[in-house]
Structure 1
Amino acid sequence: MTADEPEQLFAPVPLRWLGPIRIGGNVFQGEQEVPLATYETTLWPSVRRGAHVSTLVEGGIQCTLIDERMTRSVLFECGTAAAAYEAAQRITASEEQLAQVVTETSRFAKLIRINTEIVGNLLFVRFEFTTGDAAGHNMVTLASEKLMDAILRDQPTLHYGSISGNLCTDKKTSAVNGIWGRGKNVVAEILIPKELLERRLRTTAHEMEQLNIRKNLVGGTVAGSLRSANAHYANMLLGFYLATGQDAANIVEGSQGITHAENRNGDLYFSCTIPNLIVGSVGNGKGLSLITENLERLGCREEAHAGENARKLAVLCAATVLCGELSLMAAQTNPGELMAAHVKFERESK
Structure 2
Amino acid sequence: MTHDETTTVTAIPTRWVGPIRVSGNAVTGEISVPLATYETPLWPSVGRGAKVSRLVEGGIAVTILGERMTRSVLFTAPDAASAHTAALAIHEREAELHEAVAGTSRFAKLVEVHPEIVGNLLFVRFALQTGDASGHNMVTRAADALMDRILSWGLPVEYGSISGNYCSDKKATAVNGILGRGRSAVADILIPHEIVERVLHTSAERIVDLVVRKNLVGSTIAGALRSANAHYANMLLAFYLATGQDAANIVEGSQGITYAETRPEGLYFSCTLPHLIVGTVGNGKHLAHTQEALERLGCEAEREPGANARRLAALIAASVLCGELSLLAAQTNPGELMAAHVAFERTGTEQS
**Which amino acid is the alignment partner of residue 222 of structure 2?**
A
- Deviation per CA, 1:210-258, whole angstroms, max 9, x where unpaired? 0000000000000000000000000000000000000000000000000
Q: Counterpart in 2 of 1:48?
A: 47
SS of equivalent to 2:316: helix
C-alpha displacement of 1:5 = 9.1
Q: Counterpart in 2 of 1:23?
A: 22
Cα gap change, 1:22/1:89 in structure 2, threshold over 3 Å: closer, same or farther?
same
**What is the RMSD of the two structures over their aligned residues, measured on CA atoms?**
1.2
Distance 2:238 2:154 in 1: 45
Does 2:79 match 1:77? no
C-alpha displacement of 1:347 = 1.4
C-alpha displacement of 1:186 = 0.2
Q: Counterpart in 2 of 1:258?
A: 257
Q: Counterpart in 1 of 2:327?
A: 328
Q: Counterpart in 1 of 2:146?
A: 147
Distance 1:324 1:209 in 2: 16
**Which amino acid is the alignment partner of residue 117 of structure 2?**
I
Q: Counterpart in 2 of 1:100?
A: 99
Q: Counterpart in 2 of 1:67?
A: 66
Q: Counterpart in 2 of 1:185?
A: 184
Q: Counterpart in 1 of 2:303?
A: 304
The answer on whether the counterparts of 2:114 and 2:126 sit within 8 Å (CA) in structure 1 is yes
Distance 1:249 1:21 in 2: 26
Cα gap change, 1:13/1:214 in structure 2, threshold over 3 Å: closer, same or farther?
same
Q: How does 1:278-289 map to 2 (within 5 A)?
A: 278-289=277-288
Distance 1:167 1:129 in 2: 15
C-alpha displacement of 1:95 = 1.3
Distance 1:340 1:152 in 2: 62
Distance 1:248 1:151 in 2: 33
**Which amino acid is the alignment partner of residue 75 of structure 2?**
F
Distance 2:327 2:21 in 1: 19
SS of equivalent to 1:301: coil
C-alpha displacement of 1:96 = 1.2
- Deviation per CA, 1:113-136, whole angstroms, max 9, x where unpaired? 000100000000000000000000
Distance 1:299 1:349 in 2: 28
The answer on whether the counterparts of 1:182 and 1:276 sit within 8 Å (CA) in structure 2 is yes
C-alpha displacement of 1:9 = 0.7
What's the TM-score, normalizing by structure 2? 0.97
Distance 1:282 1:266 in 2: 41
**Which amino acid is the alignment partner of residue 306 of structure 2?**
G
Q: Counterpart in 1 of 2:161?
A: 162
- Deviation per CA, 1:28-70, whole angstroms, max 9, x where unpaired? 1111000000000000000000001100001100000001000
C-alpha displacement of 1:7 = 2.2
The answer on whether the counterparts of 2:41 and 2:348 sit within 8 Å (CA) in structure 1 is no
Distance 2:146 2:108 in 1: 12
- Deviation per CA, 1:131-155, whole angstroms, max 9, x where unpaired? 0000000000010011001101113
Distance 1:98 1:207 in 2: 52
C-alpha displacement of 1:328 = 0.2
SS of equivalent to 1:142: helix
The answer on whether the counterparts of 1:206 and 1:266 sit within 8 Å (CA) in structure 2 is no
**Which amino acid is the alignment partner of residue 27 of structure 2?**
F
**Which amino acid is the alignment partner of residue 289 of structure 1?**
A
Q: Identity of paired residues, percent? A: 64
Distance 2:14 2:8 in 1: 18
Distance 2:67 2:280 in 1: 15
Cα gap change, 1:316/1:162 in structure 2, threshold over 3 Å: closer, same or farther?
same
The answer on whether the counterparts of 2:327 and 2:337 sit within 8 Å (CA) in structure 1 is yes
**Which amino acid is the alignment partner of residue 78 of structure 2?**
G
The answer on whether the counterparts of 2:86 and 2:155 sit within 8 Å (CA) in structure 1 is no
Distance 2:255 2:330 in 1: 22
- Deviation per CA, 1:267-323, whole angstroms, max 9, x where unpaired? 100000000101100000001000000000000011111001000000000000000
- Deviation per CA, 1:181-216, whole angstroms, max 9, x where unpaired? 000000000000000100000011100110000000
Distance 2:127 2:203 in 1: 42
The answer on whether the counterparts of 1:87 and 1:155 sit within 8 Å (CA) in structure 2 is no
Distance 1:50 1:271 in 2: 12
The answer on whether the counterparts of 1:205 and 1:266 sit within 8 Å (CA) in structure 2 is no
Q: How does 1:121-140 map to 2 (within 5 A)?
A: 121-140=120-139
SS of equivalent to 2:123: strand
Q: Counterpart in 1 of 2:5?
A: 6
Distance 2:3 2:10 in 1: 22
